[in-house]
Amino acid sequence: MNAVQTYLNQRNDEEPTCAYVYDLHQLRQHAESLKASLPDSCRFYYAVKANPDCPLLETLEPIVDGFEVASAGEIEKVSAVSEKSMIFGGPGKKDREIEAALESNVEYLNVESFHELHRINYLAEQKGVTAPILIRVNLSENVSDSHLRMSGVPTQFGVDERDIPPFIEQALASENVTIAGFHFHAMSNNLDAEAHVRFVEACLDKSAAWRERFDLDALVVDIGGGVGINYWNPSQPFDWDTLAKGIAELDSEDVQLIIEIGRYMTAACGSYVTEVLDVKRNHGQNFAVIRGGTHHLRLPAAWKMSHPFHVLAKEEWNYPFLRPGIERDDVTIAGELCTPNDVLVRQEFVERLRAGDLVVFEYAGAYAWTISHHEFLSHPEPEILYIDEA
Q: What are the tens digits of pLDDT across the range 161-176?
A: 999 999 999 999 999 9
Distance CA 102, CA 88 (A): 10
Total-model pTM: 0.93
Domain made up of 3-21+268-387: CATH architecture: Beta Barrel (2.40)
pLDDT of residue 253: 75
pLDDT in tens, 216-263: 998 999 999 999 999 999 999 999 999 999 999 997 778 999 999 999
Q: Which of 1, 58, 54, 63 is nearest to 29 (CA)?
A: 63
**Contact between 386 and 22 (Cβ < 8 Å):** yes
Distance CA 341, CA 348 (A): 17
Burial of residue 284 (number of CB atoms within 10 Å: 0-12, 13-18, 19+): exposed
**Low-confidence spans in the chain with pLDDT less than 50:** 150
φ, ψ at 251 (rounded to 5°): -80, 90
φ, ψ at 148 (rounded to 5°): -125, 135
Domain(s) labelled CATH 3.20.20.10 in the chain stretch across 84-261
pLDDT of residue 7: 85
pLDDT of residue 251: 74
pLDDT of residue 185: 82
Q: Which of 323, 325, 317, 327 is nearest to 352 (CA)?
A: 327
φ, ψ at 132 (rounded to 5°): -75, 125
Q: What is the DSSP string of 52-71?
A: --HHHHHHHTTT-SEEEE-S
pLDDT of residue 143: 65
Q: What residues have CB less than 8 Å from 390, skipping those under 6 apart?
A: 25
Half-sphere exposure of 81 (CA within 13 A, CB side): 20
pLDDT of residue 153: 67
pLDDT of residue 382: 94
φ, ψ at 294 (rounded to 5°): -70, -15
Distance CA 65, CA 69 (A): 13
**C-alpha dist (Å) from residue 83 to 80, 93, 100, 344:** 8, 22, 15, 38
CA quadruple 109, 115, 120, 122: dihedral, nearest 10: 170
Active-site annotation holds for 338: yes
Of the residues 54, 203, 269, 338, which is catalytic? 338
Domain made up of 84-261: CATH architecture: Alpha-Beta Barrel (3.20)
Q: Facing residues of 258 across strands?
A: 43, 222
pLDDT of residue 151: 58
Domain(s) labelled CATH 2.40.37.10 in the chain stretch across 3-21+268-387
